[in-house]
Amino acid sequence: MSVQINDLELLDAVCDFALLHPHPAVQKFRDSVQNWGDDWISIEPAYLPAADFLVEAIANTDQQTRELVETFEQHKNRLHWEQSYKKEDDVVPDSMLEGYAFAEIIGKRGPFISDRIRAGIGIWGPGILYPRHQHQAEEIYIVVAGAAEFKIGAAEEAWLGVGDVVYVESNSPHGFRTTDQSLVVYYLWQAGDLRQTSSFG
Ligand SMILES: [Fe+2]
């Protein structure tokens, strides 16, 4: 198996973003990120339309997040864009399936294989509701471009934008909705099945 220099650029971008992040909640994931593993596989590129939001999202970044979003934008045609839900599952609105995607860099399915940490970015276009859902793994969302209204656990709904960090406890319901801007989040999962399908309701 071979790994390309471009893949290492993405791996470094994803690891450095977490390891250099000052937020205490992100630091809880530090050990898992630093010791993600040592194996990788090649992944077939897969396109989804949400990847196209990355170009305009760069204008909605800040100094801390621009480089990460630009790195993903530069490599977007080589990435494996995917979705966790299918139309027939009937758990998320059709508008979400039309306008969202994620690209994983570290996780159970690679390209950098880990059973400790899941890391990548997710993109949601404007006007999307991601209904409240939960999973066993604890999670970090860092808004790296755009904004959305988040509802996390028992907390009030909150409008979050670039640089904001959300920590989601294990099995805590969470969801969000975008309005006029697309949203790009950097995500981390640990301490649970890293490919568990979320439950809703
Ligand atoms: Fe989640």
Domain boundaries, the chain: 5-200
Distance from Cα 106 to the centre of ligand 1, integer Å: 16
pTM value is 0.96
- 157: its two tokens: 């709904």
Higher pLDDT, residue 7 or 81: 81
Average pLDDT over every residue of 165-185: 97
Higher pLDDT, residue 50 or 3: 50
Distance from Cα 36 to the centre of ligand 1, integer Å: 20
- 43: its two tokens: 């992944």
C-beta separation of 179 from 160 below 8 A: no
Residue 2 in this model has a pLDDT that exceeds 70: no
State the number of CA atoms in the 13 A half-sphere of 52 facing the CB: 6
Distance from Cα 88 to the centre of ligand 1, integer Å: 20
Distance from Cα 27 to the centre of ligand 1, integer Å: 18
Return the H-helix or E-strand segment holding 59. Answer: none
**What pLDDT digit, counting tens, does each position of 48-76 carry?**
999 999 999 999 999 999 999 999 999 99
Q: Which residues pair with 67 in a beta bridge?
A: none
- What CATH code would you report for 5-200? 2.60.120.10
Distance from Cα 82 to the centre of ligand 1, integer Å: 15
Distance from Cα 174 to the centre of ligand 1, integer Å: 7
Q: Catalogue the long-range contacts made by 196-200 (C-beta closer than 8 Å, 24 or more residues apart).
A: 196/135, 196/136, 196/137, 197/84, 197/85, 197/135, 198/84, 198/133, 198/134, 198/135, 199/133, 199/134, 199/135, 200/91, 200/131, 200/132, 200/133
